[in-house]
């Protein structure tokens, strides 16, 4: 269990996260939604211990991460992994895909070379990353492959918790669906706990066992096992639902316009 | 990178010029037709002939042999000088920029002090410090120039350490030292190569400048700058005596500069 207990983070006079408590249960998918600047990513960075809270504490099981030494914290990294938004910039451009996957296996779970090679084979299969691309550097991979590589890297050390910080934004709809379906399968199969940070309610509804709604650095609503958008009770959450529905309507309109245009072209061809 | 270099005419020309200088330096005794310091009083200021392919100077010394050996002198001072500058600037700037805090602040204050002193003035003050003239020149160049290079390296490291992939490295279990050695240095290495290859041409010119000001090696030494000074008084009667060493300085400096510039173009992110 990974928990944040009353964590607060300030940048100068601006309070990014204000006295927030969340818990990521084992084998559970938790989603945090909220608009940009609501403190979601800061919370994710504190939970993955990239940043330390100004007050409050982050607990991994019974261990208080806030009071751990650097080396102890490094050894605990294998339990919590972070997948960032921009796959291309979150991978070392100078290394090959193989080297990127090898590093956590070597440093976090201290596997020897033959075991590392076989584990990398398993990982690329799990995330459907083409094996022949392992020799390529990040810039030679497509966006989807980079994303899959990030997920494989996070899975490498067999963590209990993986945090996805806006990891699915910027992907086209088909690719996002593919990756989310793959992740859902992996989560069930391996019993992982996911924390997904997103502003996309569709992603949230598709993945979540629990949804936290964040606004101005605070959790304003918590939903367990949400079934539909009508489960949201807070006014702000309803605003988010409205925005999501509006986005969906725009997409439907553009799709129907496209269909009408192609039908019109077909008619013209026939009349000619 | 080598492939990209070979596709650029500028890089190929620069590399060929650089290799020519380095080969001449390494195998000077094989290329030189005569002893560079042998005085032939009967053939003072002789025109080019079979024995002296570029003629002789005012003391009857073979000009071609002196030019060839001068490459060795120039390189034997400029290579250790640039090596020392590289070592000091990379170690110090990387450590201070990566650590940040008080170390970086002290570095900035120190470098501001050093940068306030004009390099040539520092060099002129220090050049007579040691018994060995060559060693004095190396030390004075290093003291005068390290700070300019260290500032550039600091900027590279600061830019690199704030990139998202550094967070991923931490998540992969990398220690701070490993992040510097395995991720930051390899990523800034092409930029360092550019910095020091163009820096080398600056040092070559600086050494010749010292000699021209009478601060260089012992009188009569086969060195391009010293040869320029020697030929000063014969500028109207024998202008070629000034042209030869001048062209050699130009050739060596241009070679390293061209190569450095081509490297910079290749390393530019816009190239990928």
Q: What is the pLDDT of residues B132-153, one digit of tens each?
A: 778 888 888 898 889 999 999 9
Q: Is the dihedral of CA B256, B257, B261, B267 positive or negative?
A: positive
Q: Are strands A29-33 and A14-24 parallel, antiparallel or unpaired?
A: unpaired
ipTM reported for the complex, 2 dp:
0.82
Q: Which residues contact B86 (CB under 8 A, 6 or more apart)?
A: B149, B192, B196
Q: Which residues contact B211 (CB under 8 A, 6 or more apart)?
A: B217, B223, B224, B225, B226, B228, B229
How far off is chain A from B17, nearest CA to CA, in Å? 29
Q: What is the pLDDT of residue A194?
A: 93
Residue in chain B closest to A156 (alpha carbons) equals: B172
Q: Which residues contact A203 (CB under 8 A, 6 or more apart)?
A: A31, A168, A176, A180, A196
| Closest Cβ opposite residue A153 in set B163, B172, B186 | B172
| pLDDT tens column, A27-46 | 899 999 988 888 999 999 99
Residues of A within an 8 Å Cβ radius of B: 48, 50, 74-75, 77-78, 81-82, 84, 86, 89-94, 103-104, 107-108, 139, 150, 153-154, 156-157
Among B156, B172, B192, pick the best mutation site for testing chain A contact (most A Cβ within 10 A).
B172
Q: What is the pLDDT of residue B117?
A: 83
Contact A90 B168 (CB under 8 A): yes
How far off is chain B from A37, nearest CA to CA, in Å? 19
In chain A, the largest separation of any two C-alpha atoms, in whole Å, equals 77
- B267 pLDDT band, cuts 50/70/90, is low
Q: What is the pLDDT of residue B219?
A: 67
Q: Which residues, listed in sequence order, are joined to residue A96 by a DSSP beta bridge?
A: A137
If one compares B272 and A113, the residue with the highest pLDDT of the two is A113
To which H or E segment does residue A193 belong?
strand A193-198
Q: A48 to chain B: which residues are within 8 Å by CB?
A: 171
Mean pLDDT of B115-136: 78
To which H or E segment does residue A212 belong?
strand A210-215
Order of strands, edge to edge, in the sheet holding A218-224? A80-83, A161-165, A193-198, A29-33, A210-215, A218-224
If one compares B140 and B165, the residue with the highest pLDDT of the two is B165
CB half-sphere exposure, A135, CA atoms < 13 A? 1
Q: Could you tell me if B191 and B230 are in contact, meaning their C-beta atoms sit under 8 angstroms apart?
A: no
Please give the interface size between A and B, counted as residue pairs whose CB atoms are below 8 Å apart: 59
- B272 pLDDT band, cuts 50/70/90, is very low
Q: What is the pLDDT of residue B83?
A: 95
| pLDDT tens column, B216-260 | 777 677 888 888 888 888 888 888 888 999 999 899 989 988 888
Q: Are strands A2-11 and A63-64 parallel, antiparallel or unpaired?
A: unpaired
For residue B130, pLDDT beyond 90: no
Contact B171 A94 (CB under 8 A): no
Q: Which CATH superfamily is domain B78-267 in?
A: MetI-like (1.10.3720.10)
- Exposed / middle / buried, residue A16 (Cβ in 10 Å: 0-12, 13-18, 19+): buried
Which tokens is B258 given? 């061209």
Picking from A97-111, A218-232, B50-64, which range would have the lowest pLDDT averaged per residue? A218-232
CA distance A271 to B66: 89
Q: Which residues contact B2 (CB under 8 A, 6 or more apart)?
A: none
To which H or E segment does residue A120 belong?
helix A113-126
To which H or E segment does residue A270 belong?
helix A235-271
pTM, two decimals, is: 0.80
For residue A73, pLDDT beyond 60: yes
Q: Could you tell me if B70 and B223 are in contact, meaning their C-beta atoms sit under 8 angstroms apart?
A: yes
SS (H, E, C) chain B: CHHHHHCCHHHHHHHHHHHHHHHHHHCHHHHCCCCCCCCCHHHCCCCCCCCCCCCECCCCCEHHHHHHHHHHHHHHHHHHHHHHHHHHHHHHHHHHHHHCHHHHHHHHHHHHHHHCCCHHHHHHHHCCCCCCHHHHHHHHHHHHHHHHHHHHHHHHHHHHHCCHHHHHHHHCCCCHHHHHHHHHHHHHHHHHHHHHHHHHHHHHHHHHHHHHCCCCCCCCCCCHHHHHHHCHHHCCCCCHHHHHHHHHHHHHHHHHHHHHHHHHHHHCHHHC
Contact A91 B168 (CB under 8 A): yes
CA distance A160 to A108: 13
| pLDDT tens column, A119-159 | 999 999 988 899 999 999 998 999 889 999 999 999 998 89
In chain B, the largest separation of any two C-alpha atoms, in whole Å, equals 77
Number of continuous H segments (helices) and E segments (strands) in chain A: 8, 10
Domain residue extents for chain B? 78-267
* CA angle (A260 as vertex; A255, A266 as ends), nearest 5: 130
Which tokens is B23 given? 């080969």
Mean pLDDT of B159-168: 93
Closest CA to A156 of A182, A124, A181: A124
SS (H, E, C) B232-256: HHHCCCCCHHHHHHHHHHHHHHHHH
If one compares B11 and B268, the residue with the highest pLDDT of the two is B11
Q: Which residues contact B217 (CB under 8 A, 6 or more apart)?
A: B73, B133, B134, B137, B211, B223, B226
């Amino acid at each position: 269990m990974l928990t944040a207990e009353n964590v607060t983070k300030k940048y100068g006079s601006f309070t990014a996260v204000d006295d927030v408590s969340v818990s990521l249960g084992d084998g559970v998918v938790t989603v945090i939604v909220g608009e940009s600047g609501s403190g979601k990513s800061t919370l994710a960075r504190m939970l993955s211990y990239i940043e330390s809270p100004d007050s409050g504490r982050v607990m991994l099981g019974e261990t208080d991460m806030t009071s751990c030494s650097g080396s102890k914290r490094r050894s605990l990294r294998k339990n919590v992994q972070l997948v960032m938004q921009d796959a291309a910039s979150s991978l070392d451009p100078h290394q090959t895909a193989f080297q990127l996957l090898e590093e956590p296996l070597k440093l976090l779970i201290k596997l020897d070379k033959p075991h590392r090679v076989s584990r990398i084979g398993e990982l690329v299969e799990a995330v459907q990353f083409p094996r022949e691309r392992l020799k390529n550097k990040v810039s030679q991979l497509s966006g989807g492959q980079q994303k899959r590589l990030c997920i494989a890297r996070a899975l490498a050390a067999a963590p209990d918790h993986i945090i996805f910080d806006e990891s699915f934004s910027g992907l086209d709809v088909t690719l996002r669906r593919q990756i989310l379906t793959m992740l859902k399968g992996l989560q069930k199969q391996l019993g992982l706990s996911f924390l997904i940070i997103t502003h996309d309610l569709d992603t949230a509804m598709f993945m979540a066992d629990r949804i936290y709604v964040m606004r101005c650095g605070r959790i304003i609503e918590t939903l367990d096992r949400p079934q539909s958008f009508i489960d949201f009770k807070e006014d702000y959450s309803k605003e988010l639902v409205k925005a999501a529905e509006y986005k969906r309507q725009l997409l439907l309109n553009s799709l129907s316009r496209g269909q009408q245009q192609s039908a019109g072209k077909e008619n013209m061809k026939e009349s000619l | 990178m080598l492939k990209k270099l070979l596709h650029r005419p500028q890089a190929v020309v620069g590399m060929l010029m650089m290799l020519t200088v380095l080969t001449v330096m390494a195998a000077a005794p094989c290329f030189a037709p005569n002893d560079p310091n042998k005085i032939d009083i009967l053939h003072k200021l002789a025109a080019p002939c079979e024995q002296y392919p570029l003629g002789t100077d005012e003391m009857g010394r073979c000009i071609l042999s002196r030019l060839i050996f001068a490459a060795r002198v120039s390189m034997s001072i400029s290579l250790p000088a640039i090596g020392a500058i590289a070592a000091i600037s990379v170690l110090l700037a990387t450590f201070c920029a990566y650590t940040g805090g008080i170390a970086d602040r002290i570095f900035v204050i120190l470098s501001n002090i050093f940068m306030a002193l004009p390099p040539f003035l520092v060099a002129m003050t220090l050049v007579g410090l040691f018994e060995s003239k060559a060693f004095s020149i190396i030390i004075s160049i290093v003291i005068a120039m390290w700070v300019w290079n260290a500032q550039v390296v600091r900027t590279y490291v600061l830019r690199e350490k704030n990139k998202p992939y550094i967070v991923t490295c931490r998540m992969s279990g990398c220690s701070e030292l490993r992040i510097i050695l395995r991720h930051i240095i390899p990523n800034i290495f092409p930029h360092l190569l550019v910095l020091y290859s163009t820096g080398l041409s600056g040092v070559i010119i600086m050494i010749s400048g010292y000699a021209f000001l009478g601060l260089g090696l012992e009188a009569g030494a086969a060195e391009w700058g010293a040869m320029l000074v020697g030929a000063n008084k014969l500028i109207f009667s024998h202008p070629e005596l000034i042209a030869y060493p001048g062209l050699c300085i130009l050739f060596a400096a241009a070679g390293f500069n061209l190569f450095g510039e081509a490297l910079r173009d290749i390393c530019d992110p816009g190239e990928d």
